[in-house]
Structure 1
Amino acid sequence: MPVAEPDAVRRLESRQPIAYLLASVRGVGQVDLQPGIWTGAFILAGLWAAGWQIGLFATLGTLISTATAYVLGVDRSGIALGLHGYSGCLTGIALVVSLGHHPATYVLAVVGSVMCTLLMAALTTLLAPYGLTALTAPFCLVSGVMVVGAPSFGRIWHGAPKAVSSTTRGGTGISWNDLWHGFFTNVSQIFLVGDWYVGLIMLVGLAFAGVRVVLHAAAGSVVGIVAAWALGAPTALIAEGIYGYNAVLVAIAVGAVYLTGTVWNGAYALFGAAVTTGLTASLTSFFEPFGGHTFTWPFILTTWVFMAAVPLLPRFRRSG
């Protein structure tokens, strides 16, 4: 994730007593690797537009993870930029989507959000020698373990709630309606939401992060659609964003955050977006037999591989 200059961090921290709330809003934006306050605010507004339960658990998870980082004395620069809130945000959403709205879900969301902060610290330590960041791995690990284990506990498992997105198999013919729906839902499905208008609101938020960011997000969405269709993925799933959301994240991460803005780097990012689309299908098939969830693992693994290769590929240059 990006690192702020000392002066910028001091300005953020000088806004006490609302620094905690600002850091939490930035944490929502950091799901898309963007620390801008307006980006986080628009994305959070989109989540509330998706439904009060989604908005509430996203907010709860972000607030708890950020507060945990403060309590544990984590470096204030990272907290101010929202780096300790985004996994909690996704965990809160994943739990209410997977387990439903029950009292036990609130407890799990709090515990899971605390664990996200601890795992962020652990993974940051483990990955630092390789020049890699944790990305959304804390969310995937915490939410994956909780969701898979939930059916074993009667006070937690109340039966699978209605899914946010249908997994109905369909044909491979694609219509204009499928295309424009898929373009926007590829953005909203990053947050496990399948509503196109939520993706539109989030794209507006990404526009506040800069032209380069929103263009890479849009290009990643298009590449995800094209790659999924070329591979023969069911049209219904393409339209719901199931195959494209990881492509959006890879395009933003590799093309707009971690590498400089050159033609070579842009092509590298979009190639990664296409690769992660195929990986999404493979990991979905891998997790399905035991009730696991793909979440953002394709984005994580693709970004780790592509960024780990950069030091030995002279054509590409890291930013910063």
Structure 2
Amino acid sequence: MKTDQRTSLRDGVFFSFITASLKGISQVILIDHAISGLLILIAITIGSYYLGIIALLSAFIGTLVGMWGGADKQSIDQGLLGYNSVLTGMALVLFLDGSSRWMIALVGAALAAVFTATMIHFMKRKEIPILTFPYIILTWFILLSSYKLKGIKLSAELAPQNLAHWELDIAGEINLLEGIFNGIGQVFFLDNAISGIIIYIAVFLAGKKLGFYAIIGNIVAILIAYFLGGEHSLIVLGLYGYNAILTIIAVSAVFSTERSRYTLLSGIIAACLTVPIAAGLSTFLLPYGLPVLTMPFVLCTWLFLGARKIMPNL
């Protein structure tokens, strides 16, 4: 009898751990849904098997650090200690080079969980979500440290560029459908249409409203980027869409207020705003060779959620 109880307990702990880890993946898109997390993991693996491996390992690490650190069970079970770890691990494997990048990525994933816990503590009184801010700051600093630390090697894709010789390239056609699928895929650094479709399915599985909002946010971002004269190649790759998707889901659904009739409109405006902010931030970071990541999403979401404290109709 005691053996059966111990086995049942171990099985329950293991199942809870796997579920929390999968939710850590789904929480990247602000979704608390283990099956959606599994579908997203499949989508990542289809796009890139090594990104799929690091995403899963990073989710495990973030969850384990939360458990080992004694975080409250609800936060762990909802994947709130894992999503920044997932993004940090994926970004570092993608943007670093050399044999040590996997070790650096896994250590970065562990640090992201600690940073997340710290930010949750400091932001709790403000009642503003930390979103992906820990992942952004941690990734930027690790990438920048490559200029001073020989053991950390930056990928050649992130070479600093001189703004004095920068030229805007708006050549090429825009495939709206391709841009829509790539937009949601770029949340996880993917530009694979099949992966994008699977991620949309994962979002719709968590809620039809979330899925429709994701499509709306992506479309308005593509249109704004096009009419403002953005680079066509970047639009098609979804690099103007992924921040808009996250922003409209956050502003109009996850952190929305039921008192306002203008919640969707606020989310659309916020999603549109991510386009010029992404363009400006990208220009600002060019001399440092840093990617924009999800900072436009964080800034626009904080802007609207903060404004709601004074103007609740937003």
State the TM-score, normalizing by the size of structure 1: 0.88
Correspondent of 1:133 among 116, 124, 129: 129
Paired with 2:189 and 2:150, the residues of 1 have a C-alpha distance of 25
Paired with 1:172 and 1:260, the residues of 2 have a C-alpha distance of 42
Q: Residues 187-202 of structure 1: matches in 2 within 5 Å?
A: 187-202=184-199
Aligned to 1:78: 75
Correspondent of 2:87 among 77, 90, 107: 90
Q: Which moved more, 1:65-74 or 1:252-261?
A: 252-261
1:33-91 per-residue CA deviation (whole Å, 9 max, x = no partner) reads 00111111111111101111111111111111111011000011000010011111111
Q: Is the 8 A contact 1:99 1:161 kept in 2?
A: no
Equivalent residue letter for 1:290: Y
Q: Is the 8 A contact 2:261 2:313 kept in 1?
A: no
Aligned to 2:4: none
Q: Is the 8 A contact 1:172 1:233 kept in 2?
A: no
Q: Is the 8 A contact 1:182 1:196 kept in 2?
A: no
What's the CA shift for 1:174?
4.3
Equivalent residue letter for 1:185: N
Paired with 1:92 and 1:230, the residues of 2 have a C-alpha distance of 35
Equivalent residue letter for 1:82: G
Count of residues in Structure 1 that have an aligned counterpart in Structure 2: 298
Paired with 2:254 and 2:173, the residues of 1 have a C-alpha distance of 32
Correspondent of 1:267 among 262, 265, 268: 265
Correspondent of 1:120 among 92, 112, 116: 116
Paired with 1:263 and 1:172, the residues of 2 have a C-alpha distance of 40
Structural RMSD (CA): 2.2
Aligned to 2:19: 22
Paired with 2:261 and 2:179, the residues of 1 have a C-alpha distance of 26
Q: Is the 8 A contact 1:69 1:117 kept in 2?
A: yes
Q: Residues 131-280 of structure 1: matches in 2 within 5 Å?
A: 131-157=127-153, 159-160=155-156, 170-171=169-170, 174-175=173-174, 178-260=175-257, 263-280=261-278
Q: Is the 8 A contact 1:186 1:241 kept in 2?
A: yes
**Shift >6 Å, 4+ stretches:** none
- In the alignment, structure 2 segments of 5+ residues that lack a partner are 1-9, 160-165
1:165-206 per-residue CA deviation (whole Å, 9 max, x = no partner) reads xx995326744xx21111011101111122222111100100
State the TM-score, normalizing by the size of structure 2: 0.89
1:109 equivalent in alignment to 2:113? no
Q: Is the 8 A contact 1:169 1:237 kept in 2?
A: no
Equivalent residue letter for 1:58: A
Q: Is the 8 A contact 2:96 2:154 kept in 1?
A: yes
Paired with 1:161 and 1:173, the residues of 2 have a C-alpha distance of 21
Paired with 2:230 and 2:136, the residues of 1 have a C-alpha distance of 24
What's the CA shift for 1:156?
2.7
Percentage of identical aligned residues: 29
What's the CA shift for 1:158?
6.5
Q: Is the 8 A contact 1:131 1:308 kept in 2?
A: no
What's the CA shift for 1:140?
0.5
Question: Quick check: which has more Rg, 1 or 2?
Answer: 2
Q: Is the 8 A contact 2:158 2:289 kept in 1?
A: no
